[in-house]
Amino acid sequence: FARPIKFALLFTFGNLLAVGSTAFLLGPTKQYRMMFDSVRIFATAIYLGCVVIALICALWIHSKLLTIIAIITEIGALIWYSLSYIPFARRMVSELMIRLCDTEL
């Protein structure tokens, strides 16, 4: 995190290459159908939106603080998007976070 703008660029382009590599393995049509399936349409939209926001913060705004916030949000969106491929994973993580963050114990 010493150079957050450079890290943001490399991390974001790495994520785009990872999505592109799965499109290469599965085929672009199947990858597109899987990404925009009704189960993961919101996770895909949030993840792609975070990728765009991270690039905007790094390339045009040049703000280190906004870039770090965008990268942290992108990591969270990537985790949520990845959990959409594991059956019941998002529900389990949601219930775990509710139990951990519940103040009425």
Task: Note the pTM of the prediction, 2 decimals.
Answer: 0.80
Task: Kindly report the number of other CB atoms within 10 A of residue 76's CB atom.
Answer: 13
Task: Find tokens 């450079």 and name the residue.
Answer: 6
pLDDT at 89: 92
User: Which tokens is 99 given?
Assistant: 């139990």
pLDDT at 72: 92
pLDDT at 91: 92
Task: Find tokens 């959409």 and name the residue.
Answer: 84
Q: What is the mean pLDDT of each run of 10 residues along the chain (105 residues)?
A: 83 89 89 90 91 91 90 90 89 91 70
pLDDT at 85: 87
Contacts 24+ apart (CB under 8 A), 61-65: 62/5, 64/4, 64/5
Rounded to whole angstroms, the Cα distance separating 32 from 73 reads: 23
Q: What are the sequence ranges of the domains in the chain?
A: 4-103
pLDDT at 4: 84
Are the CB atoms for 74 and 12 separated by under 8 Å? yes
pLDDT at 88: 92
pLDDT at 20: 87
